[in-house]
A and B are shown apart, each in its own frame.
Chain A
């Protein structure tokens, strides 16, 4: 057999779904989400409800309108006020922790997707951010075997060309470490996000998220994100946030600016 033929056969084999535990409903050939992709629009998580319209996450007074419980509405308002005062840091400013799910679906820079029959990896260049979505038929671990993590635990399956996965066991808002976007948007550690992701045209991936959260939400919250395919051959690179982080966070919550000598150059450091 010619080498090229062997490669083609190997590729076909790798694209063929093998039923695991008799549960696979996957297509015979996995979808092609190759290349590099970027989030459409700015990093406001729920652009459908943001006020003011086209407001940018992190600008004072910008907010979205998830169906929050009174408790979480109050927490969100407190975060929004902190942003106005300049004392609400982005938790990822510390460099080293992931953004968390579902913020992982709301990142700047590029995304890459690695699809196998066993799992799909969503790799955010702006990281460290990797979502591991197991599609081999496994269930979520038992409650006693789980602990809250930034990206949570995701299992899913294929419905034709659509990846359907559910993410649980995320850290949620504890007062400091995980937000959904820089407006101060938050969820709790009880969130359960079901995502349906598919290519709606050759250049566009769409993720429809249905968010439930018994602590934070009084109703289901639906958010759709889209991702645009970048030019062929686009590279993704290391995003080593700690390499030269000149914006540490002071105990007050104020984000500082360091000079080239590593010392704060802010006129007031509190």
Chain B
């Protein structure tokens, strides 16, 4: 089993409906909305830019380092939800939840995150 996966939840239909859909400017067909992955990693970079923010995360997988790209909403929307360009800093140890890519690519649609001090952002319940 891949070491990065703390939890890989195949959700029920009801749970899927509870997960907010990324408000994107593009098709979301590449994401598996029925699957929620939880992954612990180290923030490499937050790209605070339009049309979407991207969180670059480095995680360990089978003893090797792998970089993941997690896509969020627009800075415009997120800033009104309390996010800032400094919300994720390089080196932060964070646990992320996201809808993974259907094809297994190291990327996904951000759902929520929990910092090492227990604070959360996004959907985390």
Interface residue ranges, A against B (CB under 8 Å) = 42-43, 54, 56, 58-60, 83, 86-90, 92-93, 95, 108-110, 125-126, 182, 230, 234-241, 243-247, 249, 254-255, 257, 259-260, 265-268
A240 contacts across to B, CB distance below 8 A: 50
Closest approach, in angstroms, between the C-beta of B66 and any C-beta of chain A?
11
| Segment among B2-10, B35-43, B72-80, B117-125 that sits at the interface with chain A | B72-80
Interchain Cβ contacts within 8 Å, total number: 120
Point out the residues of chain B lying under 8 angstroms from A87, CB to CB.
Answer: 29
Closest 8 CB pairs of A and B: A86-B29, A244-B49, A93-B26, A247-B26, A255-B27, A108-B23, A267-B103, A241-B51
In angstroms, Cα B105 to Cα A257, docked, is: 9
A-contact 0/1 string along B76-92, CB 8 Å cutoff: 11011000000000000
Closest to B79 in A: A237
Pick the contact of A257 from B74, B80, B101, B104 — CB < 8 Å? Answer: B101
B15 interface residue (CB < 8 Å to A): no
Q: A257 and B30: CB pair below 8 A?
A: yes
Flag if A239 contacts B26 (CB, 8 Å): no
Cross-chain contact B27 with A266 (CB below 8 angstroms): no
Q: Decide if B69 touches A108 in the complex (CB within 8 Å).
A: no
Bound: A239/B77 CA distance, A: 10
Shortest Cβ distance from B77 into A: residue:
A109
CB-CB under 8 A for A90 and B45, given A58-B21, A239-B74, A257-B69: no
B37 to chain A, nearest CB (A): 16
B residues less than 8 Å from A60 (CB atoms): 29
The listed residue (A125, A230, A266) touching B76 by CB distance below 8 A is: A125
